[in-house]
Structures are given as structure tokens and as C-alpha cells.
Amino acid sequence: MKFSQAGKMAVAAVLSNKLRSFLTMLGIIIGVMAVTLLISLVQGATNTVTESLDDLGGDQLVVSVTNTSKRLTLGEVEALADLDGIDRVSPTLSGRGTARADGNSSDVSITGITASYDAVQGMSLASGRGITQTDVDYRLSICVIGPTVSKDLFGTNADAVGRTLRLSGRDYRIVGVLEEAQETMFGSSNTEIYLPFTNAQRLLSSVNVTNFYVSVSEDASTDDAETALDRAMMAKYGDDDSYSIVNLTDIMDTINDVMATMELLLGAIAGISLLVGGIGIMNIMLVSVTERTREIGIRKAIGAQRTDIIVQFMIESVILSLTGGLIGMVISQGVLTTINTLYPDYHFAITGGTASVALGFSFLVGVIFGIYPANKAAKLKPINALRYE
Amino acid sequence: MIELHDIRKIYQLGGEEVHALDGVSLTIRDHEFVAIIGASGSGKSTLMNIIGCLDTADEGTYMIDGQEVSDLSERQQSILRNRKIGFIFQQFNLLPKLTAYENVELPLIYQGVSAHERRERVMEALEKVDLAHRVHHRPNQLSGGQQQRVAVARALVTRPTLILADEPTGNLDSHSTKDIMDLLKNLHAQGNTLVLITHDNEIAAQAPRRVRLFDGRIISDSRQDSDSSADGPEHLSDPDHTASADPLSGQTAASENQSEEQPQVSPGSRESSVDRNGGDAQ
Ligand SMILES: Nc1ncnc2c1ncn2[C@@H]1O[C@H](COP(=O)(O)OP(=O)(O)OP(=O)(O)O)[C@@H](O)[C@H]1O
Ligand SMILES: [Mg+2]
């Protein structure tokens, strides 16, 4: 018998009892839905986190000084750039404040930076210029502002470059406006005001460098740079409780590891529901074999071979599981699309890999849980099957 | 050619042994029309199932066209059922979800016949049983007589050499019975071997050869022209002799090919008289 004929028979059998077929598929539908949804959600979340970290700068080290009694001066920090493996050092000084102009005000975070900030962390300007070494050297009262600040103070379409704002009673000339940045889970530069580092020291009445970013030389590894940096900091502070060096690559690796483990774990849990779905299929197939004992007897009497019967029942169970898998996937794609529409910051999607795994598993479930009933049907002695009432 | 030798089939029923077939030996030549008769429970269906390779004997040998059936694999047996044998059952045994057309088509599908040829042969078979106008009806939309005609079409569509019919008219009225018997006799006339199981003497009388079973044994094997009312003597003889006598009688019949009555065991004269009456009625 040809495969297509067996397929037709199986389709006819599945369609002849649509409600039961659907209920049989339900287990697989829910299983595949759970698998694809969970995996896609974890993958989407992983992507969002890594993108956020990437925006912060993937290949950099972040140093924060916790020891307040021993000062780390700007000069000392900038000297670290001479270390092996370190390309540039970008010290920052952070605080909060309220900017005012034209009778409007905007709550901002204030960050003092040096000229190397652009090279280390990146700064995309919509108009004007960034902060230069001269600005730092001469402690100039200029600033670069984020687009939200510009909007708050000067309205939507106004060009803020060249205008002035007030911060804690001082006037700052705006020399540049940043491009609109994506919100990340760590906030964004949209509400930021950047000042020359030296000027920020005065404004925030803080001379110490509390944080600095270090970019790694292209020819060096992040780990080597970290070691060199650690040695230098150790030489200054003598104990490693006074400072901490955070390697973003390490964090990213850790997050990726955690997420991969989570994906596997959730996938396995969801896989169990797929297994349960498979058992449901086997259950119904066994009922079906019993119900159709006479049919099997008739088929055998008129010449069906064992393989004909096996193929017929196997196709039936694979049709059930694969269709269930497809329906489950369509539903979870629908759920993901809904989430994406409601929360435009997320981009959840079922990847090709997830889809193949889910469908592959549905197929396997159909085969594995179909074998036993199909074999049971095929093994029936024609006479016993014919006599069955 | 069908050769059964000392076939035994024993069922265990609640610790008790039921000898459904108790040493049956029977030879059926090609193109023969044999009626197997006997009371209910005498083992007729059991015998037919063994002949049709639906069941296996516990003891004895069964050869079909010179081939020992117990030597055949399960697969070869299904092929044999598919190509050589056409079954007709009392319960029709059509697949309820398939149309008349699809039911008749099924054995050809298992044979691997091309779609085009299937169409031709299915229509041809359905025309033969005069059901070309009921092609797309399901069994439950057909009368009993029509269902049995579909079953006949399904049996003949594979062009088998052997037709096995187990009480084919058992569930039918006299009109449909005549239709089915005409079809079967027609098949026999076209050269098929026909084995017909019945407990209806009137029907049995239409067969040139009648084999009577009683308690799993052959008690008489009579051969005659179906329109002759000749009725040879039937007398009692040693029952144990029956089994060994039968193949011999089969061979005799094969060589002489004459209408004759085989004197056989008969445990009671009632059985004989029934047979006689059946013959007379014809
Ligand atoms: N599967 C079975 N299990 C137990 N006993 C059986 C089985 N099949 C048949 N028998 C017994 O074997 C004997 C012969 O049965 P069989 O069906 O061959 O009779 P039959 O001549 O066809 O009767 P009927 O005319 O009623 O169809 C009976 O006594 C029956 O009870
Ligand atoms: Mg019977």
C-alpha cells in the first residue's frame, strides 16, 4: 500500500471524530504552547538584557571606589590609561539636580565627564558638539543635554544649542544635544546633562573620582586589562574592599549562562506537559484500536499486512501530535505578538530553532506514543479481530 | 486446490476442551462449488476461517495450491488472502465509514493497484452486482441485500480464485438471497472455486457437492449434479475411519471426476434424512 493511501485513511479517521481528535490534541497544543512561549520569553528577556549591557559598552571595565577617606584624583585616574592593555580611562562624577530655563524646569541627572567619555562609552549627538579636553582643562560652564531635557526646557522642536540653562544658580551654555536613546533597564541618557568633569567637581562639591570606565586596548583581553587595573588599584588602596572592578563581559556571560539554564529548565518543565500530551494521544489511540478491532479484522481479512495497519495508525497519531504542535505554536505566536504590541520595548518571537525543536518533539511524541497502539492493532489475529463485538 | 489433512482445532472454554474441528480431511479441487453444511456449532465457520487463512489449525496440514500454509509467513498469508481469496460474511463486514465504492476499492489499495486501474475495476465489480447507482452510499444507507452485494463486489474485485462465503444469505430475505446466490453461482460458472457455508438445505442443494459437518467431523461428502435428485445411501461406519478415508475419497473424486455419493459416518439418521430431503427439494 502506498503511503499516500495510508495518509488518506488516517486523515479520514482523524476527521471522522473531530471533537475527540481535538481533545486528544489539546495536551500537545498546551505542551507546545508552553514550550514555545517559555523559551521565547526567556530568549527575548535575554536579548533585552544583553542589548542593555551592550549599550553600556560591552568591552569595558567599570571601577567604583568605595573608600571615601583615600582620594583618587583625576590625574591619578587618567594616569591609569598608561597601563598595559588599557586604552582609555573615562572618569565620571554623578549627581542629581534641577535644570531651569525660560521659566521651565527639568529634573536631571548630572554627570561630569572628560573628553574620553565619547571614546569609551559612546555619545551620539543630534546637534552641536561634545565635551572636549579644553572644556575640562578650563573648567568651562558648558553642557551637553539629553533630548528630554531639551524638550522640557525649550519645547519639542526648538534647537537648544547655543542657549543657556541654570543649574544650582550657575549658567551653562548648551553646546550639544544628544540623540534620542532607547530606554534600557538601566535608564537612558535622555534625561542626562553632561558637564566637563572639572566643572562638575565644583558644582557637586566633590573632588573625588567615584566611578570610572576603562576601555580595553584592541590587542589586549579584558581579563588582562582587569588584572593590570586591579594591581594598580591594589597598590593604591592596599585592600580590595576599597574598590570594585566590574567586568561587563563577565556579567554578560553570567547572565547568558543563567538565561540558558533557565531556558533549559523551563523547556524541560514544559516538555513534561508535552509528554503528558503524548500519553493522552496514546490513551486515545489505544481506545481507538479497541473500538476499531473489527475494522482491523476486516482490513486484515481482505489483505492488509501488518505494516499497512502499523503505518495507518502511526500516521494517525503523528497527524494528531503534529497538528496539535502547529496549533500550539500558532497560539503562542499570537500571545507573543500581543505582548509585543502592548509593550513595544520587547521583541518576543519564536525563533526557527525553537519552532523546529517544538515541532520535532511533537513529531517524536506522535511516533513514540503511536508505536505501541499501532503495533497492538497490527498484531491482532484476523479471526479474533473479526469476532470482536 | 485445497487439501486439508486431519485438521484439528481445540478451544479451551472454562477449562473444558471444545473440539471445534476434530480431524477434518477434505480436498477441494479448482473450480469446484462446495457447500459446507451442518448444525450450529458443528465447526463450519472454524473450518472456513482455517481455509481462508484467518485462523490456524492446532494440528494437521493445510495445503493451498500445493503450498503448505503453516510454512507461510504472516506477510505471505496476508498476500494470499488478498490475491487468492475473496471473503463474504454473514455480517457483510463492510467498513461503516467508507462508501460502497471505497469498500470495494480497499483490497486493491492493499494490492498496490494504480488509481486509474482501481477506478475501472471497482466500477466493473459494482456493475456486476448491479450497484453502479449506489457507489457513494455508506453501508448504513444500503439495505442488507445491497450491503451483501457490495461485499460480493469487494470479494470479486481482486479476481480471486477462491470465494469463501460464510452464511452469505443468513441475514437476508428470500429475494436478496436469490440475488446473492445467482451472483455466487455466476462466479462459479466463470471458473471460481466456491466454498459456501450454510445451514439452509435449500441453498446447499444448489451446490454440486455437499460436505456435512457434525461435531467437528465430516459425516458425509456427497457429490452430484445440482439438478439431479440422486441420493445415494448413507450409512453408519467407524467414525475413526473418516479422517483417513477423506483424502482418499478426495483423490478418487479428482481422478474419476464423477458425481457420486461418498458413504460417510453419520451418527444419526436424522442428519442423513435432512440431507436427503435437501437433495429432493432441488
Ligand atoms: N473463539 C472461540 N472460543 C471458544 N470456542 C469457540 C470459539 N469459536 C468457536 N468455538 C466453538 O467451536 C465450535 C464450532 O464453532 P463454529 O463457529 O465453527 O460453528 P458453526 O458451525 O459455524 O456454527 P454456526 O452455524 O452457529 O455459525 C462451537 O462449539 C463453538 O462454541
Ligand atoms: Mg458459523
Q: Which band of pLDDT confidence, cut at 50, 70 and 90, is reported for residue B238?
A: very low
B248 Cβ neighbours under 8 A, 6+ residues apart: none
A194 Cβ neighbours under 8 A, 6+ residues apart: A111, A112, A113, A117, A123, A131, A143, A144, A145
Residue B74 — φ and ψ, nearest 5°?
Answer: -60, -40
B266 Cβ neighbours under 8 A, 6+ residues apart: B214, B219, B220, B234, B235, B236, B272
- In chain A, which residue's Cα lies nearest the Cα of B85? A302
A139 closest CA partner among A157, A121, A112: A112
Q: Which residues pair with A280 in a beta bridge?
A: none
Side chain identity at residue A337, one-letter code = T
The pLDDT of residue A135 is 92
Q: Does B49 touch chain A (CB under 8 A)?
A: yes
The pLDDT of residue A363 is 93
Which three cell numbers mark B108? 486493491
The pLDDT of residue B235 is 38
Mean pLDDT, range B251-257, rounded to an integer: 40
Residue nearest to atom 1 of ligand 1 (CA): B11
Q: Which band of pLDDT confidence, cut at 50, 70 and 90, is reported for residue A39?
A: confident
The answer, yes or no, to whether any atom of ligand 1 lies below 6 A from the CB of B43, is yes
Closest approach of B186 to chain A, Cα-based (Å): 21
Q: Does B82 touch chain A (CB under 8 A)?
A: yes
Mean pLDDT of chain B: 83
Residue nearest to atom 5 of ligand 1 (CA): B11
Mean pLDDT, range A96-106, rounded to an integer: 89
User: Do residues A248 and A256 make contact, with C-beta atoms less than 8 angstroms apart?
Assistant: no
> If you measure from the C-alpha of residue A28 to the centroid of ligand 2, how many angstroms do you get, rounded to a whole number?
45
Residue nearest to atom 30 of ligand 1 (CA): B41
Higher-scoring residue by pLDDT: B279, A118: A118
Side chain identity at residue A186, one-letter code = F
* pLDDT tens string A141-153: 999 999 989 998 8
* Residue A335: pLDDT over 90: yes
Measured between beta carbons, the chain B residues lying within 8 angstroms of A300 are 54, 78, 81
The fraction of chain A above a pLDDT of 70, given in percent, is 97
Domain boundaries, chain A: 3-53+253-387, 67-241
Mean pLDDT, range B180-200, rounded to an integer: 93
CA A366 to chain centre: 32
- CA distance readout (Å), B107 to A233, B46, B103, B229: 88, 23, 8, 39
Mean pLDDT, range A205-213, rounded to an integer: 82
* pLDDT tens string A230-245: 888 888 888 878 888 8
* Pairwise CB contact (< 8 Å): B110 & A381: no
The pLDDT of residue A159 is 85
Higher-scoring residue by pLDDT: B276, B170: B170
Where b means 16+ CB within 10 Å and e means fewer, A300-327 reads: bbbbbbbebbbbbbbbbbbbbbbbbbbb
Q: Relative to the CA of B216, which ligand 1 atom is closest?
A: 14
Q: What's the CA angle centered on A220, arms A219 and A221, to 5 degrees?
A: 130
Q: Cα–Cα distance between A350 and A356 in angstroms, integer?
A: 10
Measured between beta carbons, the chain B residues lying within 8 angstroms of A295 are 95
* Residue B276: pLDDT over 60: no
Measured between beta carbons, the chain A residues lying within 8 angstroms of B158 are 303
The pLDDT of residue B90 is 92
> Could you write out the three-class secondary structure of chain B?
CEEEEEEEEEEEECCEEEEEEEEEEEEECCCCEEEEEECCCCCHHHHHHHHCCCCCCCEEEEEECCEEHHHCCHHHHHHHHHHHEEEECCCCCCCCCCCHHHHHHHHHHHHCCCHHHHHHHHHHHHHHCCCHHHCCCCHHHCCHHHHHHHHHHHHHCCCCCEEEEECCCCCCCHHHHHHHHHHHHHHHHCCCEEEEECCCHHHHCCCCEEEEEECCEEEEEEECCCCCCCCCCCCCCCHHHHHHHHHHHHHHHHHHCCCCEECCCCCCHHHHHHHHHHHHHC
* pLDDT tens string A154-173: 888 778 899 999 998 899 99
Q: Relative to the CA of B90, which ligand 1 atom is closest?
A: 27
Q: Cα–Cα distance between B87 and B195 in angstroms, integer?
A: 10
User: Do residues A69 and A152 make contact, with C-beta atoms less than 8 angstroms apart?
Assistant: no
* Residue B199: pLDDT over 90: no
The pLDDT of residue A77 is 85
Q: Cα–Cα distance between A74 and A60 in angstroms, integer?
A: 19
Mean pLDDT of chain A: 87
The pLDDT of residue A56 is 64
- Cβ contacts below 8 Å, chain A against chain B, sum to 65
The pLDDT of residue B274 is 41
A114 closest CA partner among A140, A147, A95, A146: A140
* Residue B270: pLDDT over 60: no
Q: Does A299 touch chain B (CB under 8 A)?
A: yes
Residue nearest to atom 22 of ligand 1 (CA): B45
Residue nearest to atom 13 of ligand 1 (CA): B20
* Residue A175: pLDDT over 90: yes
Q: Does B78 touch chain A (CB under 8 A)?
A: yes
- Closest to B95 (Cβ–Cβ): which among A298, A300, A306? A298
Q: Record the pTM.
A: 0.71
* Pairwise CB contact (< 8 Å): A386 & B93: yes
Q: Cα–Cα distance between A254 and A227 in angstroms, integer?
A: 19
> If you measure from the C-alpha of residue A308 to the centroid of ligand 1, how many angstroms do you get, rounded to a whole number?
29
* Residue A229: pLDDT over 90: no
The pLDDT of residue A85 is 82
The answer, yes or no, to whether any atom of ligand 1 lies below 6 A from the CB of B12, is no
Q: Does B9 touch chain A (CB under 8 A)?
A: no
Closest approach of B163 to chain A, Cα-based (Å): 12
The pLDDT of residue B258 is 42
ipTM field: 0.79
* pLDDT tens string B18-75: 999 999 999 999 999 999 999 999 999 999 999 999 999 999 999 999 999 999 999 9
> If you measure from the C-alpha of residue B73 to the centroid of ligand 2, how many angstroms do you get, rounded to a whole number?
26
Measured between beta carbons, the chain B residues lying within 8 angstroms of A16 are 97
Q: Which band of pLDDT confidence, cut at 50, 70 and 90, is reported for residue A62?
A: confident
The answer, yes or no, to whether any atom of ligand 1 lies below 6 A from the CB of B4, is no
Residue nearest to atom 7 of ligand 1 (CA): B11
Lowest mean pLDDT among A23-32, A103-112, B224-233: B224-233
Closest approach of A319 to chain B, Cα-based (Å): 19
> If you measure from the C-alpha of residue A357 to the centroid of ligand 1, how many angstroms do you get, rounded to a whole number?
54
* pLDDT tens string A257-303: 888 898 888 888 888 888 888 898 999 999 999 999 999 999 999 99
The answer, yes or no, to whether any atom of ligand 1 lies below 6 A from the CB of B170, is no
Q: Relative to the CA of B199, which ligand 1 atom is closest?
A: 25
Q: Which band of pLDDT confidence, cut at 50, 70 and 90, is reported for residue B256?
A: very low
> If you measure from the C-alpha of residue A387 to the centroid of ligand 2, how many angstroms do you get, rounded to a whole number?
11
